Structure formats: C-alpha cells, structure tokens
Amino acid sequence: MSENCESKYKDARPAIGEGLRGSGICGVSCDRSGWGPDRGGWPHDVLGDASRDERAGKMLHACIFAPMIPATGLCVGLDLDTGKMPQQYRDRPDALVAFGMDVIDATREWASCYKINLAFFEQYGIPGIEAMYQLRKHCGSSYVIADAKRGDIGNTSAAYARAVFDDLNADAVTVSPYMGRDSVGPFLEVADRMVYVLALTSNPGSHDFQRMDIDGQPLYRRVMESTLSWPRNGDVGFVVGATNADELAMLRGAYPNVPLLIPGLGAQGGDEQGTVAANAGGPAVFNVSRGLLYCDTSASCMTSIATEAARLHAVLTSR
C-alpha cells in the first residue's frame, strides 16, 4: 500500500465503502488498473485539468475503487450460440461448456475480463444455466461482468443483485436505469462490486430515446450525471457504445476517470483505432463477442481465437 495514499485518505474510507476487493487501497489493487503513485504518478488523462482539491478527490476515487475496476483492455464477451460454433463443438451434448472453457483458456493471457451474457445461457434452460455457472467457475480469479441489464422496483432489483453478486459471484453487472434511482440503488449498495449503467448503447435503437433533449442535454448525459450523484458502496461505470465515437470522446473529456464498458467493436461495426483514440486513455474495457468467438469455424479455431485476442489486446491497450 502506498504510505502517502494510506495516511492522506484513511479517514475517508468509511464514507466511501467497505469490503474492498484485494489486499489494500493502493499497491497491488492500483496496479490492476494501471494507476497510482507507485506507477510513476497519476496520469493527466485520468485527473484532467482539475484544481488541487479536485485532483485529490479524483485520486481518492481511484485509490478507493481501483480494486473494483478491471484493467483497461479486452473484454471477452461470452455470447455463446451453439448454431455458430465450429462443427466439432456443435455436435457435443456439452457444447456450451466445452467451447466456453476452451475460449477462456485460449484468451486468458490477453483478456482484462470476461462478460457473461446471461440471456445466451438462459435460452437453453436448465442445461444453459448450469453451463453458465461452470464457466463462471472456470474464469477463476479473472474479472467477470454479468451482462444482465437488470432493473426493476427496489425489492426485485435487490433480488437480482443477490443473484449476480452473491450466487454467481460476478465482479460487475450491467443494469438499466429506466425505472430510476430505486431500481439501481440495490446494486449500488453492494460493497466491493462494479455497476455498469446503460448510458449510450451501440444498437441502432439507441437513437429512439437516449439522445432525446432534456433541458438542453441528451438523456444519456442526464442519466450519467444523476447516477454519479447517488450514494454507493461499490463503484459505478457506464455502457457507452463504440459505434458512438464522437459522443465517446465528448464523454471521456467530461468524465476522464469514470470506468466505461464499451461494446460494439467487431460485428457491430465499431472502429478499433477510432474507439481507442476517443477513449483517450481512460479506464475502459472494450467488449468483443461475435468477432472473436466465431472468427474461425475450422478445427484450428482456438489458435485463431488466441491470435485474434492477442491482436486486440495490443490495439486496445495502446495509448
């Protein structure tokens, strides 16, 4: 743990949250995110053009919440579809588990995290749910995002939070803010976890509501500003699609140290280099699912997947 960080900010810790993941506020935990005084200072693109007090606050946020934030880089999306798998897996009764485990093994060296899309397992009923839990276990200590997009009245959201955090043991979850603060609050109450709130998504339908003008600003900005003002014990980030590079650049300028989950690369058409440039070195994981999982359907598919994961890692961690 950094002595300076420990002594300067120790009194603020209870007000932020308890049960922090990892061995300390800085040290190893800050190393995971690539930030911290022990790594040569706090980068300008994280702290921005802030006053001394503002910079201290941002350093506190990074120190306290770094254990909950995955390292910037490739997020491997486990959107498993037996119909798209290579033939040697498709014919197996354990296709989900076999293919999923092999993908995890092939990409583990290059993946910052894994995103389990619950719907792709739920569609197969009990066998799919069982496969999902086996793959979560196979991820081991790797950072895991439960892509659930949950959001409901308070007691229902509390049940969802227990399911993804206590039972599935996910490190993070995606949630929908459409029903407001009381639907997101139960997720934010859980210490030591990350909540990614949908803000500006990568699908064409994002134009239907998310960009609506609300008192001079788009709805997605209102969502972000409101969510950041709500009390929380864990950390909060936002889903911002790679298909919205101009807005991503604007948001990164406004929120240089807020974690982002950025889907939309590969099959959805997001540009890799443009997205990395728009992110400007901020804390983010870039999800790739179909473009990685099904990049090769031959018998040597896992070699191709590993090669593509290495390439993506190099591109997505470039500054």
Where exactly are the structural domains of the chain?
A: 3-67, 71-316
- Catalytic residue, chosen from 8, 58, 84, 149, is 149
Q: Which amino acid is at 202?
A: S
Q: Is the pLDDT of residue 59 over 60?
A: no
> Could you give the percent of the chain with pLDDT greater than 90?
71
What does the pLDDT average to over 79-89? 96
Residues 6+ apart with CB under 8 A from 145: 70, 75, 113, 114, 115, 116, 170, 171, 172, 173, 174, 194, 196, 261, 285
What does the pLDDT average to over 119-145? 97
What does the pLDDT average to over 278-301? 96
Domain 71-316 CATH (choose: 3.30.70.330, 3.40.50.300, 3.20.20.70, 3.40.50.150): 3.20.20.70
pLDDT tens profile 110-126: 999 999 999 999 999 99
Q: What is the pLDDT of residue 12?
A: 30
What does the pLDDT average to over 214-227? 95
Q: Would you call 149 a catalytic residue per the annotation? A: yes
What is the rounded distance in angstroms from the CA atom of residue 212 to the CA atom of residue 206? 10
pLDDT tens profile 155-183: 999 999 999 999 999 999 999 999 999 99
Cβ atoms of 267 and 226 closer than 8 Å: no
Residue with tokens 């206590």: 166
Nearest to 75 by CA among 26, 15, 139: 139
What token pair was written down for 257?
């140290």
Judged by phi (left if over 0) then psi (alpha if -120 to 50, else beta), residue 41 lies in left
Nearest to 102 by CA among 278, 314, 265, 300: 300
pLDDT top residue among 34 and 101: 101
Lowest mean pLDDT among 177-181, 229-233, 315-319: 315-319
